[in-house]
Structure 1
Amino acid sequence: MADEKIVIGAGTKYPLNGILTIPDQTNGPTPAVVLVHGSGPSDMDQKIGENAPFKDLAEGLSEKGIAVIRYDKRTFVYGKEMRNDPGVSVKVETIEDAIRAADFLRKDERIDATKIFIIGHSMGGMLAPRIDAEGGDFVGIIIMAGSPRKLEELIMDQNDQVLNSLNRLLKMIAKKQIASLSSKFDNIYRLSDEEAKSTPVLGKYIRAYYLKEMGEHPSVDYLNGLDKPVFILQGEKDFQVSIEKDFNGYKKLLGDRPNVTFKLYPNLNHLLMPSVYGDILKAKKEYKVAQHIDRQVIYDIADWILSV
């Protein structure tokens, strides 16, 4: 395979460094995927602790004859400028660049423009159907450890998981903090856009508008009308999204559709790597253990892409 340095959004306000990984041997134009990050600032490898899942995907899929494009997330490079912008949304942070990456691939003669896919991980998986609808125009969508729910619902679930693990005194303190957060979330959709832009909800910089804008474009709305191939996968030991509410939530929504494939992987965590602690309180320790995406996950994704 060959790693080529590229720039996504060259000539725009937010150019981003990236890598296009091209398979060594191809018979004509090759299929390709755009990798879309989860929440928070991330480099092109989506480095989390000692793990680099996007690098694993790029190397593994290219070995199977599939080109992969990955790039630094906008908030990773321009976070300082963007956090002072009250109008930051997932559209600005993620969606625009994923569409630019798809357009970049279409202009490359080595890529089969009719075989461009998106792989969204975590929040990237939540956004993948919207990215497709707003201009990505992919032939198929792969959702890794995503959710059909709203972001604030996931945040509350994760907080509740932590709460249930605390001792009595800490639980009393945390309960008040979580109740306060819950009331902020409950009020988000009652705010006008301008009010939401001036209302912080998570720390100093994440404003209500970020959640409101995303929540007003729910993944479910895009999935309901989707007839192109979709592959939804998750690890059984994922403590950041739920089998019951998320994986099975997708199944409840799409389970009878012939265009949708589901796979749940035993003993894999949120990064589709072997589970170490399986505890949300030990998330940092979990990701400090250097690992790689399970090979079966990469083989399954490659087989699915090549079958479409």
Structure 2
Amino acid sequence: MTDEKIIIGEATNFPLNGRLTLPKRMDGLVPAVVLVHGSGPTNMDEQIGNIAPFKDLAEGLSQKGIAVLRYDKRTFVYGKEMRNDRSLSVKEETIEDAILAANFLRNDSRIDSNKLFIIGHSLGGMLAPRIDAEGGHFTGIIIMAGSPRKFEEIIMDQNEAVLKSLNTFLKWIGRKQVAALSSKLANIYQLSNEEAKSTRVLGKYVKAFYLKEMGEHPSTDYLEVLTKPLLILQGEKDFQVSVEKDFNGYRKLLEDKSNVTFKLYPNLNHAFMPSVYGEVRKAKKEYKVAQHMDHQVIADIANWIFSV
């Protein structure tokens, strides 16, 4: 493979460093994918602790004949400037740059523009159908560890899982905190946009508007009308999204559609690597263990792309 340094959004106010990883041998045009990050400010490798899932994907897929474009997330590079933006939504944080990345690939004469795919991981997977509809115009969509539910529902589930793992005293304190968060999140759709922009819901900077805007564009709306090829993947030991509520939620929503392929992997976590601790409260420790994405996952993605 070869690795080229590129810039996404060079003419915008938020240029981002990226890499285009290409197969070493290219006999004609090659298919390509855009990688879209999960939640939080992460670099182009989607590095968390000592793992780098997007680097693994880029190298693994390019070795199988597929070009891969990855780039630093806008909040990773411009977080200080963006955290006081009361109007921040996933559109500015994620969607705009993913569409710019798709257009970048379309303008590369080595890429087959009729074989252009999006791989969204976690929150990126939840947003992938919307990115496609709002200008990505991909050939097919790959959702890794995503969810058809609203983001605030997943946040509450994660908090409840942590709560259950605490001792009696900490559980008493935690229950009050979780109840307060639940009350805040339950109210976001009753707020006007202006009220939502001035209401903090998570930490110092996440405003209710961020969740409200996303929740008013649910992925289910896009998925229900989607006819293009769709691949949905999840690890059985994923503790950040649920097999029952999320993977099976996709199955239930899309059970009558012939354009969807589902893959569930035993003993793999949210990053599609072998499960270590298997608990959400030990996520930091889990991702400190240096590992690589399971080879079968990469092979399945490549085979699916070539089958479309």
Bin for the TM-score computed over the shorter chain: over 0.9
Code of the aligned partner of 1:14: F
User: 1:49-64, aligned counterparts within 5 Å?
Assistant: 49-64=49-64
1:140 counterpart residue number: 140
1:117 counterpart residue number: 117
In structure 2, how many angstroms separate the alpha carbons of the residues matched to 1:281 and 1:250?
A: 25
User: 1:187-198, aligned counterparts within 5 Å?
Assistant: 187-198=187-198
1:255 Cα offset (Å) = 2.2
1:99 counterpart residue number: 99
1:39 counterpart residue number: 39
Residues 227-264 of structure 1: CA deviation (Å, up to 9, x unaligned): 00000000000000000000000000012211000010
1:124 Cα offset (Å) = 0.2
1:139 Cα offset (Å) = 0.4
In structure 1, how many angstroms separate the alpha carbons of the residues matched to 2:240 and 2:38?
A: 11
In structure 1, how many angstroms separate the alpha carbons of the residues matched to 2:29 and 2:254?
A: 32
2:257 counterpart residue number: 257
Residues 57-79 of structure 1: CA deviation (Å, up to 9, x unaligned): 00000011000000000000000
In structure 1, how many angstroms separate the alpha carbons of the residues matched to 2:67 and 2:93?
A: 24
Residues 83-104 of structure 1: CA deviation (Å, up to 9, x unaligned): 0110000000000000000000
Residues 32-70 of structure 1: CA deviation (Å, up to 9, x unaligned): 000000000000000011000000000000011000000
Q: Check if 1:217 corresponds to 2:183.
A: no
Code of the aligned partner of 1:228: K
2:304 counterpart residue number: 304
1:160 counterpart residue number: 160
- Specify every segment of 5 or more residues in structure 1 that has no aligned partner in the other structure, as ranges: none
1:202 counterpart residue number: 202
In structure 2, how many angstroms separate the alpha carbons of the residues matched to 1:45 and 1:281?
A: 23
1:280 counterpart residue number: 280
2:9 counterpart residue number: 9
1:184 counterpart residue number: 184
Residues 165-223 of structure 1: CA deviation (Å, up to 9, x unaligned): 11111111111111100110111001111110000000110000000000000000000
2:18 counterpart residue number: 18
In structure 1, how many angstroms separate the alpha carbons of the residues matched to 2:104 and 2:166?
A: 48
In structure 1, how many angstroms separate the alpha carbons of the residues matched to 2:305 and 2:264?
A: 18
In structure 2, how many angstroms separate the alpha carbons of the residues matched to 1:190 and 1:5?
A: 45
TM-score normalised over the length of structure 2: 0.99
SS at match of 1:47: coil
1:293 counterpart residue number: 293
2:240 counterpart residue number: 240
In structure 1, how many angstroms separate the alpha carbons of the residues matched to 2:50 and 2:167?
A: 30
SS at match of 1:201: strand
TM-score normalised over the length of structure 1: 0.99
Residues 261-305 of structure 1: CA deviation (Å, up to 9, x unaligned): 001000000000000111111111100000000000000000000
Code of the aligned partner of 2:260: V
Code of the aligned partner of 1:293: M
In structure 1, how many angstroms separate the alpha carbons of the residues matched to 2:84 and 2:184?
A: 21
Code of the aligned partner of 1:216: E
In structure 1, how many angstroms separate the alpha carbons of the residues matched to 2:253 and 2:27?
A: 38
In structure 1, how many angstroms separate the alpha carbons of the residues matched to 2:52 and 2:179?
A: 35
Code of the aligned partner of 1:148: P
In structure 2, how many angstroms separate the alpha carbons of the residues matched to 1:196 and 1:282?
A: 32
Code of the aligned partner of 1:199: T
Where has structure 1 moved over 2 Å in runs of 4 or more? Answer: none
- Specify every segment of 5 or more residues in structure 2 that has no aligned partner in the other structure, as ranges: none
SS at match of 1:4: strand
Give the paired residue count. 308
* Residue identity (%): 75
1:229 counterpart residue number: 229
2:72 counterpart residue number: 72
SS at match of 1:275: coil
2:127 counterpart residue number: 127
2:28 counterpart residue number: 28
In structure 1, how many angstroms separate the alpha carbons of the residues matched to 2:220 and 2:234?
A: 18
